[in-house]
Amino acid sequence: MISWKNCSSVCTDGAAAMTGKYSGVVARIKSKNSETVGIHCFLHRHALAVKRMPPDLVEVLEDVTKIVNFIKTRPLNSRIFKVLCEDIGKTHKALLLHTEVRWLSRGRVLARFYELHEEVYSLLSDQKHKFAAKLTDSAFIQRLAYMADIFSHLNEVNISLQGNKVTYFKAQGTILALQRKINLWKECILEGKHECFGNLCEYLLSNQLVFARKCKSLYLPASNEFSRINWKVFYHQRR
């Protein structure tokens, strides 16, 4: 039997069931070993920070989710869409469902949807679906491409924070590097530069378009939230 004295710290997601003062898991563990330290998980902090988005971007995510559900939850639509992708020779032949509790879900769903958005338009237009018009709106596609790029970057950070060999110093450096990148991306967006966003850059160049003015006013998610993390205090908590 493992002694509770060997438990030096507990990493949680901040939920009340875990951190409750009297009946939470951390409290129960501390009743066995008062020197145990409770730590808020790096990954959960990251997940919480990227939840906050401007309304225009939230609308895009909601519309994408509705379109994906329309196709994925109807077997006939799924089969037609698969055949359509096979005929064109696409690498992927299905969309991905969005699951809020899975941290990497948004990035993967948006990236896959953007990759197949022309095929999605073909299916929706054939069925005269009301969302077909969305996929002919240049501003909507720009926001979609922008979000696919941003959340792909955030997913890379999320994955890099996982694993047995990740130390506090590596995780801290990764987050601080992300903060600097977000400031750079903000400047690029405000100046109308889009080279650091692969999907967005490709869409604009292939369609000979100029970056929509509305998109320039959208701030990147998580910048303010990440800047509020007090790494010095967090380090002392771990000690």
Q: Determine contact, residues 154/111, Cβ cutoff 8 Å.
A: no
Query: What is the helix (H) or strand (E) element at residue 37, kind and residue range?
Result: strand 37-40
pLDDT exceeds cutoff 90 at 121 = yes
Residue 214: the pLDDT is: 58
**DSSP state at residue 218:** P
**Using 50, 70 and 90 to split pLDDT, how confident is the model at 23?**
confident
HSE-CB of 99 using CA atoms within 13 angstroms: 7
Residues 227-230: contacts with CB under 8 Å, at least 24 apart: 227/179, 229/45, 229/175
Question: Which residues neighbour 41 within 8 Å (Cβ) at sequence distance 6 or greater?
Answer: 11, 12, 13, 14
Q: Determine contact, residues 116/109, Cβ cutoff 8 Å.
A: no
**Using 50, 70 and 90 to split pLDDT, how confident is the model at 229?**
very low
Of 151, 132, 143, 167, the C-alpha closest to 42 is: 167
pLDDT exceeds cutoff 70 at 152 = yes
Give percent above pLDDT 90 in the chain.
27
Q: Determine contact, residues 179/223, Cβ cutoff 8 Å.
A: yes
Map out the domains of the chain as residue ranges: 4-40, 46-238
pLDDT tens digits, residue range 71-98? 999 999 999 999 999 998 888 999 998 8
- Let me know how long the chain is: 239
Q: How many angstroms separate the CA atoms of 201 and 114, rounded?
A: 13
Residue 230: the pLDDT is: 44
Q: Taking residues 115-142, report their average pLDDT.
A: 92
